[in-house]
Amino acid sequence: MRLALYQPDIPQNTGAIVRLCACFGVPLDVIEPCGFTFTDKQLRRAALDYAPLADVTRHADWDSFRAVTSGRLLLLTTAGDRAYTEHAFAADDVLLLGREEAGVPPAVHAAAAARLRIPLVPGARSLNVAVAAAIVLGEALRQTSALPTMAS
């Protein structure tokens, strides 16, 4: 299981996702360009001291990411045609999240094996990208029996 961010533009969200991936032991792929630098103060503040625990790979662009990525690409999107709760996850899936402001371009949509959404109440447009990542990643890890075990 991997999590991937397509051209993220809010450093605080990326920092929260770095922390999420560190805590769950899930590798993170960041597809550039980003709307900030990786030395950004807000990124460091959100990631806290978890950054050294995270397995983060940065890719220069979409093509570089696709060249080294295996497993099913699952796009989390408000335009998804299937609820994440109805999807059977596999251990080698890559959960992809788009830019906070613009999502992903049509070519990235087309590359996805599935486009998943999180059901929301009528009138609600979307969740914060870090919150969406946590919800779906938690379910994917649960389904694949890959959640970390609780210490006694």
pTM: 0.93
Q: Which residue has the tokens 């999240």?
A: 97
Q: Which two three-digit tokens encode residue 38? A: 């990786």
**Is pLDDT of 152 > 70?**
no
The CATH fold of domain 2-143 = Alpha/beta knot (3.40.1280)
The CA distance from 43 to 90, in Å, is: 30
pLDDT digits (tens, 9 = 90+) for 20-76: 999 999 999 999 999 877 776 766 666 667 788 899 999 999 999 999 999 999 999
**Position 82: which residue type?**
R
- Pair 114, 74: CB distance under 8 Å: yes
